[in-house]
Amino acid sequence: MDDYLKEALEIVKAQASVRTMTEEEITSMVQKLAGDIRAMAEGGVIETEEDVATDPKKAIREKSVICCVCGKSFKVITKKHLASHGLTPDEYREKFGYKKKLPLVCKSLQRERRKKMKEMKLWTKRGSAKK
């Protein structure tokens, strides 16, 4: 195994120890880092996150949402983060072709919220408190 791959594995191992990562995320991160480390060692130019446009169709994942503007990973893309790019949530959805009502939240968190709301049954009338 070459030194670039070993270094990339160490970096990804450290990252995986502090946050949950899917097998796909780990594999792609190792490949990208190994290539970047090799490019740096050979004096090449590395594409930054701004250069790499995130595919909006793949941005909403099980445990994370990738900002299509900067490439950073979140559980929820907040209004505050979008404001740092000069966008509102509606403008962001329109710019990247999302449906108007699509929540900018990872899939696992969407499921948890949906389950909680169903348990609360806020749409049903409460019994009267007078007794």
Q: What is the pTM for the complete model shown?
A: 0.53
pLDDT for residue 112 is more than 90: yes
CA distances from 124 to 113, 114, 115, 116 (A): 18, 16, 16, 15
CA separation for the pair 89, 103 (Å, rounded): 9
pLDDT tens for 43-86 read 765 554 443 457 888 889 999 999 988 888 899 999 999 999 99
- Ordered by start, the domain boundaries in the chain are 1-46, 49-121
11-45 residues labelled b (16+ CB within 10 A) or e (exposed): bbeeeeeeeebeeebeeebbeebbbbbbeeeeeee
Q: Are 93 and 107 in contact (CB under 8 A)?
A: no
Ordered alpha helix ranges (H), 19-88: 23-41, 56-59, 79-84
If you classify domain 49-121 with CATH, what class do you get?
A: mainly alpha
CA distance 90 to 53: 19
Q: For residue 59, what are its two tokens?
A: 């941005």
Do 90 and 103 meet the contact criterion of CB atoms below 8 Å apart?
A: no
What is residue 30's predicted lDDT score, i.e. its pLDDT?
85
- pLDDT, mean of residues 91-115: 93
